[in-house]
Amino acid sequence: MFEFPIRTYIKNVASLQVKPELCNGCKLCVMVCPRNVLKVTDRKVCIVQLDSCIECGACMVNCSEGAIFVKSGVGCAAGVINGMIRGTEPSCDCGEGCC
């Protein structure tokens, strides 16, 4: 399995959001996250490394309770990753000048 190197992408722009009150504490989101972005404490999900989120959507897809939302495949993190894959300059077209 390919592992992403630990790095921070563009600060404070990932679309990841959690609703801890909906979390049942199953920890599936933690198990499927390739970047260790989430943690479950006292049976509630929380974000511990937002800037490491690559917006892959694995956490949201595996959350049966709807406690996690992320716009997978879009945003600045996707722009950085697509640029790396294509060998081009990263571009997210967000208009913020971040890429």
Domains of the chain, each with CATH number or no CATH: 17-72 (3.30.70.20)
Q: Which helix (H) or strand (E) holds 92?
A: none
Reading the block at residue 60, the tokens are 């949201």
The answer, as to whether pTM is greater than 0.95, is no
- 40-97: pLDDT as tens digits: 999 999 999 998 888 888 999 999 999 999 987 666 666 777 777 888 776 665 555 4
Tell me which DSSP letter residue 87 carries: T
The residue type of 65 is: E
Contacts by 55-61, CB closer than 8 A, 24 or more apart:
55/14, 55/15, 55/16, 58/29, 58/32, 58/33, 58/34, 59/16, 59/29, 59/32, 59/33, 60/29
When mean pLDDT is compared across 1-10, 34-43, 65-74, the lowest value belongs to 1-10
